[in-house]
Amino acid sequence: MNLDELENVVKRCGMPRFTAKQLAQWLYEKRVESFAGMTNISKKNQEKLAQLYIVGREAPKHSVKSKDGTVKYLFGVGSGQVVESVYIPDHDRATLCVSSQSGCKMNCYFCATGKMGFKAQLSAAQIVNQILSIPPKPEKGHEPMHELTNIVFMGMGEPLDNFKAVERVIEILTAPWGLAWSPKRITVSTVGKLPELKDLLEKTQVHVAVSVHTAETAQRESMMPAQKAFPISTIMKLLSGYDFAHQRRLSLEYILWRGVNDDVAHADMLVKLINRIPCRVNLIRFHKVDGVDLTPCSEERMQMFRNYLNGKGITATIRASRGEDIMAACGMLAGKDKGKSKN
């Protein structure tokens, strides 16, 4: 709930209006798990709230830790469905990759989540729960986890296919009554679903990452069915109308496959697609997915591709691969890891 809705709650319960801000603080800042933990609200009012509402927090079903420190969490989201979230520590940063759907409608050829098909939309509560429940309090004898510094909507699902819920989560993350984060700590990744991309750009100030993967139209359509409805050229034309030269950042995601999109010709097509739009290109290693006959390109090829883009004045970096040994790397989330906790 947002602050207006919390004000309606306290009005319904006959409580003072200021109680709404207390509720917001307990829910989002102090991350309380029950009304009984709200110590500055009377026991009588705690009981009233508990009769009509639930806090809604649920711990992950289980977790598994990678040798590189990445942790993957499995959350139940009702009706037997599950989603995965990935915690990625990196020096002074701690990023959480959150899911917005169980499964995905986009059916990208190279993505394990797409192979699941679409299962369910997540509510804003189910998305926020992933954020509030990670990192958990460290168990005795375990290395303490860093407080989250960044959220990326790059987990299971297409965030803009569930835009209303994602927009509400962004509000909770950035509002002064919520977590009060800067929107620059949040990135939303998308295949470029329109018109929701336009709404995201106009209603929020979060960073945007667009999955391109190839600038060749027919090739992109064969791998990413969304290309037919949302051509990458149309997406880039829309993006060209917004300011990415200052605080807000635009990233283009580009997985490199051996002999498919890793040559100079494809690099040149990408340069032409970008034209003069200020952006960063993230070059991503491909991680094997069952039933997909694509292979990662060589490290030398990735460096060549990066250097070519850099030489054309485009900032390009090779993203470090994290969590591959626990099926937590880019494109590998499929909600299959349901065994006993390993972290």
Q: Which positions are catalytic?
A: 84, 330
Distance (Å, whole) CA 132 – CA 236: 34
User: Among positive and negative, which fits the CA dihedral 96, 102, 106, 112?
Assistant: positive
Nearest alpha-carbon partner for 323 in 63, 148, 68 = 68
Name the DSSP letter for residue 243.
-
User: Among positive and negative, which fits the CA dihedral 240, 241, 243, 245?
Assistant: positive
Structure tokens at 37: 């933990």
Give the CA distances from residue 21 to residues 1, 8, 101, 230, in Å, rounded to whole numbers and listed in that order.
12, 12, 29, 41
* Number of other residues whose CB lies within 10 A of the CB of residue 193: 20
Reduced to 3 states (helix: H, G, I; strand: E, B; else coil), residue 24 is helix
Give the DSSP per-residue string, 181-233: --GGGEEEEES--TTHHHHHHHH---EEEEE-S---HHHHHHH-THHHHS-HH
Reduced to 3 states (helix: H, G, I; strand: E, B; else coil), residue 22 is helix
